Amino acid sequence: MRLDVVSSGRTERIQFAYHLRSINGANLLDPVHLDDIAYIKGIDPDNAEAR
């Protein structure tokens, strides 16, 4: 699943697993911010990248 993620005024392609749909009731069609993905994945938001 690929979504356009807006972070600090720029758009990046972030790929992440379908199972994130169930976390906090998030809908993958809703806007997703890079910091939210970093929080969900437990990674450093300053060095966030798709894993």
CB 34 within 8 A of CB 44: no
List Cα–Cα distances, 24 to 19, 30, 32, 46, in angstroms: 11, 13, 13, 22
Q: How far is the C-alpha of 15 from the C-alpha of 51, rounded, in Å?
A: 8
Task: Compute CA 27 distance to the chain's CA centroid, rounded to the nearest angstrom.
Answer: 11
Supply the pLDDT for residue 25: 58
Supply the pLDDT for residue 17: 47
Please write the tens of the pLDDT for every residue from 8-50.
555 455 555 444 555 555 555 555 555 666 555 555 556 555 5
Residue spans of alpha helices (H) in the chain:
34-41
